[in-house]
Chain A
Amino acid sequence: KNQVEQSPQSLIILEGKNCTLQCNYTVSPFSNLRWYKQDTGRGPVSLTIMTFSENTKSNGRYTATLDADTKQSSLHITASQLSDSASYICVVGTGGSYIPTFGRGTSLIVHP
């Protein structure tokens, strides 16, 4: 069964600090991996998308990495801001399928 596990479940950091969120997956065959940001009360918004041949992708202060051998991805947030407070969801696409597999998300709270 395809699965996506995210850690930690929740994280609290101070404004200006960096943090890293983890995503481990057992999806086969792998097609792509996406990170979404979901603000409270809103729909998820795509941050990055990586295919098998890509091992890093940046979007401003967000940098995602992918290790297809170990089936792990991380999302690094640099110089956190209050607006980074949100849920971050890892989603893995399967080759030949229209249906991606979602992780349960990491809830990030940034305190001033």
Chain B
Amino acid sequence: NAGVTQTPKFRVLKTGQSMTLLCAQDMNHEYMYWYRQDPGMGLRLIHYSVGEGTTAKGEVPDGYNVSRLKKQNFLLGLESAAPSQTSVYFCASSDGTVYEQYFGPGTRLTVT
């Protein structure tokens, strides 16, 4: 039981490049979330999903897109990376009861 995994762990992009971050969970959770964490800002919600095939915007969705084609996977895409998207990205999942979130190890992204 691996819990929540994220790929890749680190990435450096040039401005304007695109990439996809992959989140996978093996706990059969319905809900999945993408957060970014910046110094002094805490965790901010980018997008979330309440089930396979559904997605919704969070607090800071601009510049990101997401897809949830399979229940266990939640993809976060950056179509044209900007330096302001330099951050640590965390994926989380939760069940439908107490909504306790389980977090992945994070992806550290630098955009130059």
| A interface residues, Cβ below 8 angstroms from B | 31-32, 34, 41-46, 49, 51, 89, 91, 93, 98-100, 102-105
Distance from B91 Cβ to chain A, minimum over Cβ atoms (Å): 8
Contact in complex: B43, A32 (CB < 8 Å): no
Could you give, for residues 35-60 of chain B, a 1 whenever the CB lies within 8 Å of some chain A CB and a 0 otherwise? 00000111111001010000000100
Which of B4, B48, B103, B106 is close to A98, meaning CB atoms less than 8 Å apart? B48
Interface flag for B98 (CB, 8 Å): yes
Contact in complex: B50, A45 (CB < 8 Å): no
Contact in complex: B48, A99 (CB < 8 Å): yes
Interface of B is mostly: strand
| B interface residues, Cβ below 8 angstroms from A | 4, 31, 40-45, 48, 50, 58, 90, 92, 94, 98-106
Distance from B69 Cβ to chain A, minimum over Cβ atoms (Å): 19
Distance from A22 Cβ to chain B, minimum over Cβ atoms (Å): 16
Q: Which of A34, A41, A51, A102 counts the most chain B CB atoms within 10 A?
A: A102
Distance from B73 Cβ to chain A, minimum over Cβ atoms (Å): 17
Contact in complex: A98, B58 (CB < 8 Å): no
Contact in complex: B42, A93 (CB < 8 Å): no
Contact in complex: B106, A42 (CB < 8 Å): yes
Contact in complex: A100, B42 (CB < 8 Å): no
Residues on the B chain within 8 Å of A99, using CB: 45, 48, 58
Instruction: Knowing that A43-B105, A89-B43 touch, tell me 16 more A-B residue pairs with CB under 8 angstroms.
Output: A32-B98, A32-B99, A34-B100, A43-B4, A43-B103, A43-B104, A44-B103, A98-B48, A98-B50, A99-B45, A99-B48, A99-B58, A100-B99, A102-B42, A104-B40, A104-B41
